[in-house]
Amino acid sequence: MKLWQQMISTAIVGTERQKFELPPPADGDAVANLLGALAAAGDETRLLKAAAVLGSYLRSGIAAAPDAGAAPEPAGDETRASIPPLSENHLAAMLAGHHSRVLREFFELVAENGRVLPPPFLPAALDEGTSKSELRPFIVPILGARGRWLAGRRDDWSWAVAAENQTEKWETGARAERLAALAALRREDPAAARELLAAGWSAESAKDRAAFLEVLKTNLDAADGEFLERVRQTDKSADARRAAVNLLLKIPGSPLRETLAAEAAALLVYKPGGFLSKAKLEVVFPADFDRDAKGDPLADVELFLNERELGKKAVRLVKLLHAVPPRFWEERFGAPRETLVEAAKNTDWKNAVLTGFRAAALNFADAEWLAAVLPESGQNDYYTLSNQIERDWRHSQIENLIEILLDGEPKTGLDRNFAVLLFNRLKERWSDEFSLKISNFLERESQVRDFKEFIGKEFIGIALPVLNSGHLFAVGQLADFELRVLARLAGHLDKLPGYARSAEDFAAVAAFRRELRAAFRNEEKL
Amino acid sequence: MPISWTSEQVIAQAPDESSVKAGRGLASPAKWVSSGYDDRAVWGECKGSGKLPYQVSIELAEPAFKCSCPSRKFPCKHGLGLFLLYAAAQLKEGSAPDFCAEWLAKRSATEERKNEKAAAETTPEEDAKREKARLKRVADREAKVAAGLAELELWLGDLVRQGLATAQNQPTEYWEKTAKRLIDAQSPNAARLVRNLSSLVYRKDKYGERLAGKLLEQIGRLYLVCESWRRLAELPEAVRADVKTAVGFTVKEDELTAAETIEDVWQVHGIRVYEEEKLRVQRIWLAGETSGRRALVLNFAFRNQPLDVGFTAGTRIRAALAFYPGNFPQRAFVKERFEAANLDALAAFDDFDALLGDYAAALAKNVWLETFPAMIRRAVPVRRGAAWFLRDETGKLLPLEADEAALWKLDAVCGDRPTAIFSEWDGETLRPLTVWSDGKPIRL
pLDDT digits 0-9 by tens, A129-149: 999 888 888 999 999 999 999
Nearest to A48 among B156, B162, B417 (CB): B156
SS3 of B146-187: HHHHHHHHHHHHHHHHHCHHHHHCCCHHHHHHHHHHHHHCCC
pLDDT confidence of residue B109:
81
Distance CA A353, CA A341 (A): 9
Sort out which chain A residues have CB atoms less than 8 A from B27's CB and list them: 86, 89
Of A56, A92, A119, the CB nearest to B413: A119
Walk across the sheet containing B32-37 and list its strands.
B32-37, B41-46, B54-59, B64-67
Q: Is the peptide bond before B63 cis (omega within 30 degrees of 0)?
A: yes
Q: Is the pLDDT of residue B210 over 60?
A: yes
Q: Are B27 and A92 in contact (CB under 8 A)?
A: no
CB contact under 8 A, A153 and B411: yes
Q: What is the pLDDT of residues B148-200, one digit of tens each?
A: 999 999 999 999 898 888 888 888 888 899 999 998 888 889 999 998 888 88
The pLDDT value given to residue A494: 63
pLDDT for the residue numbered A222: 92
Spatial CB neighbours of B246, under 8 Å, sequence gap ≥ 6 = B189, B190, B193, B225, B228, B368
Query: Distance of alpha carbon B7 from its chain centroid, rounded?
Result: 21
How far apart, in whole angstroms, are the C-alpha atoms of residue A35 and residue A23? Answer: 7
On chain A, the residues whose CB falls within 8 A of the CB of B210 are none
pLDDT tens digits along A48-74: 998 999 998 888 888 899 999 888 888
Cross-chain Cβ contact B27/A86 below 8 Å: yes
With contacts defined as CB-CB under 8 Å, which chain A residues touch B28? 511-512, 515
- Please tell me which of the candidates B160, B212, B389 has its beta carbon nearest to residue A14: B160
What is the nearest CA distance from A103 to chain B, expressed in angstroms? 15
> Start-end ranges of CATH 2.40.50 in chain B?
254-342, 352-443
Does pLDDT of B61 surpass 60?
Answer: yes
Mark yes or no for CB contact B218/A150 under 8 Å: no
The 10s digit of each residue's pLDDT in A425-434 is 898 889 999 9
Q: Give the residue with greater pLDDT, B368 vs B49.
A: B368
Among the CATH numbers 2.60.40, 3.30.70, 1.10.443, 2.40.50, which is that of B254-342?
Answer: 2.40.50
Say whether pLDDT at B2 is over 50.
no
* Alpha carbon of B98: minimum distance to chain A alpha carbons (Å): 28
Kindly tell me if the per-residue pLDDT of A363 is higher than 80: yes
pLDDT band, very low/low/confident/very high, at B260 (cuts 50, 70, 90): confident
Residue of A nearest to B389 (CA): A67
User: A41-45, B82-86, B370-374 — which one is most confidently predicted on average?
Assistant: B370-374
Residues of B in contact with A88 (CB under 8 A): 7, 88
Asked if A51 and B219 come within 8 Å (Cβ–Cβ), the reply is yes
Residue A464 or A40, more confident: A464
Q: Are B443 and B271 in contact (CB under 8 A)?
A: yes
Look at strands A268-271 and B294-302 and give their pairing. Answer: unpaired
* Cβ contact, residue pair B25, A84, below 8 Å: no
Indicate the average pLDDT of chain A.
Answer: 85
Least confident window among A452-461, B5-14, B83-92, B401-410: A452-461
A-B contacts at Cβ under 8 angstroms = 196
Q: Inter-chain contact A60–B359, Cβ cutoff 8 Å? A: yes
pLDDT of residue B3: 56
Q: Which residues of A touch B216 (CB under 8 A)?
A: 7-8, 11, 51, 55
Query: Is the peptide bond prior to B75 cis by the omega test (within 30 degrees of 0)?
Result: yes
Mean pLDDT (chain B) is 86
Closest CA to B222 of B150, B156, B147: B156
Chain B residues within an 8 Å CB radius of A120:
8, 409, 412-413, 437, 442
Please state the domain extents for chain A: 2-57, 85-249, 252-285+306-377, 429-526
Q: Is A310 near chain B, with CB under 8 Å?
A: no
- Residue A125 φ then ψ, to 5°: -65, -40
Confidence of residue B207 (pLDDT cuts 50, 70, 90): very low
| pLDDT confidence of residue A460 | 64
- Tell me the residues of chain B between 224 and 243 that have a Cβ less than 8 Å away from chain A: 224, 227
Q: Highest mean pLDDT range out of A262-276, B74-88, B324-338, B372-386?
A: B372-386
CA distance B146 to chain A (A): 18
Residue B371 touches chain A, beta carbons under 8 Å: no
A65 contacts on B by Cβ (under 8 Å):
396-397
Q: What pLDDT score was predicted for residue B29?
A: 80
Chain A residues with CB under 8 Å of B4 CB are none
Residue B19 banded pLDDT, cuts 50, 70, 90:
confident
Cβ–Cβ below 8 Å for A511 and B27: no
pLDDT band at A226 (very low <50, low <70, confident <90, very high): very high
User: Closest to A11 (Cβ–Cβ): which among B88, B163, B397?
Assistant: B163
Band (A245; pLDDT cuts 50, 70, 90): very high
Smallest Cβ–Cβ distance between B417 and the set A54, A59, A74 belongs to A74
**pLDDT over 90 (residue B418):** yes
Query: Which residues in chain B (403-422) have CB-CB distances under 8 A to chain A?
Result: 405, 408-409, 411-413, 415-417
Using a CB-CB cut-off of 8 Å, the residues of chain B touching A44 are 157-158, 160-161
Q: Which residue of A has its CA nearest to B19?
A: A93
CB distance A60–B89 less than 8 Å? Answer: no
Interface test with B, best of A60, A128, A482, A512 (most B CBs within 10 A): A60
State residue A450's pLDDT score.
57
CB contact under 8 A, A120 and B412: yes
CA distance A109 to chain B (A): 18
C-alpha span between A426 and A386 (Å, rounded): 11
Predicted confidence band of residue B206 (pLDDT cuts 50, 70, 90): very low
Which residues of chain A does B164 touch, with a Cβ-Cβ cutoff of 8 Å?
A: 11-12, 14
pTM for the complete prediction?
Answer: 0.76
Q: What one-character-per-residue DSSP string does A332-394 give?
A: HHT--HHHHHHHHTTSTTHHHHHHHHHHHHHHTT-HHHHHHHGGGS-GGGHHHHHHHHHHHS-
Nearest chain B CA: its distance from A513 CA (Å): 11
- The architecture (CATH level 2) of B352-443 comes to Beta Barrel (2.40)
Confidence of residue B440 (pLDDT cuts 50, 70, 90): confident
Interchain proximity B356–A515, CB inside 8 Å: no
Which pLDDT belongs to residue A44? 87
pLDDT at B225: 93
A31–chain B Cβ distance below 8 A for any pair? no
Contact (Cβ atoms closer than 8 angstroms) between residue A173 and residue A182? no
3-state SS of B50-61?
CCCCEEEEEECC
CB contact under 8 A, B220 and A55: yes
Residues B92-144: tens digit of each pLDDT: 888 889 899 888 888 888 777 776 766 666 677 888 888 888 888 888 889 99
Confidence tier at B204 by pLDDT (50, 70, 90): low
Lowest mean pLDDT among A33-47, B289-303, B346-360, B403-417: A33-47
- Is pLDDT of B1 > 50? no
Q: Which residue of A has its CA nearest to B201?
A: A12
Our CA-based measurement puts residue A427 at a distance from the nearest CA of chain B, in whole angstroms, of 24
- Using a CB-CB distance cutoff of 8 angstroms, which residues of chain A are in contact with residue B391? 67, 71-72
Please give the Cα distance from B329 to B62 (Å, whole number).
Answer: 25
